[in-house]
Amino acid sequence: MRLIFHLITYCSVVVTAYSHHWQAPGPNDSRAPCPMLNTLANHGYIPHNGLNVSKEQFLAAFDEAIHVDPNAIASVVDLGLTLSTTGNPNTLNLQDLAKHGEEIPQKLAYMTIRPAIEHDASLSRLDAALGDNLHFNPRVWAETSSKFTNSIISVQDAAAAHRYRIAQNRIENPGLSFGQKEAGFSYLETAIYMSVFGNATGINVQRRWVKTFFEHERLPWEQGWVKATIPIVREHVDNLIAQLVADDNANNEM
Ligand code: HEM
Ligand SMILES: *[C@@H]1O[C@H](CO)[C@@H](O)[C@H](O)[C@H]1NC(C)=O
Ligand SMILES: *[C@@H]1O[C@H](CO)[C@@H](O)[C@H](O)[C@H]1NC(C)=O
Ligand SMILES: *[C@@H]1O[C@H](CO)[C@@H](O)[C@H](O)[C@H]1NC(C)=O
How confident is the model over 223-239, as pLDDT tens digits? 999 999 999 999 999 99
CATH of the domain at 117: 1.10.489.10
pLDDT tens, 80-96? 999 999 999 999 999 99
Closest of 223, 22, 249, 35 to residue 140, by C-alpha:
35
pLDDT tens, 158-215? 999 999 999 999 999 998 888 888 999 999 999 999 999 999 999 999 999 999 999 9
**What's the chain's length in residues?**
254
Domain count for the chain: 1
In a domain, 5, yes or no: no
Q: How far apart are the first and last CA of the chain?
A: 64
In a domain, 13, yes or no: no
CA dist., res. 38 & res. 31, Å (int): 6
Distance 224 CA to ligand 2 centre (A): 36
For residues 26-35, average pLDDT: 98
Q: How many CA atoms lie within 13 A of 157 on its CB side?
A: 19
pLDDT tens, 104-155? 554 555 554 557 999 999 999 999 999 999 999 999 999 999 999 999 999 9
The number of the ligand nearest the C-alpha atom of 28 reads 2
In a domain, 119, yes or no: yes
The number of the ligand nearest the C-alpha atom of 88 reads 3
CB 178 within 8 A of CB 119: yes
In a domain, 15, yes or no: no
In a domain, 105, yes or no: yes
Q: Is the CB of 52 under 6 A from ligand 3?
A: yes
Determine the structural domain holding residue 237 and report its residue range: 31-250
In a domain, 18, yes or no: no
Q: Which helix (H) or strand (E) holds 92?
A: strand 91-92
The pTM assigned to this predicted structure is 0.91
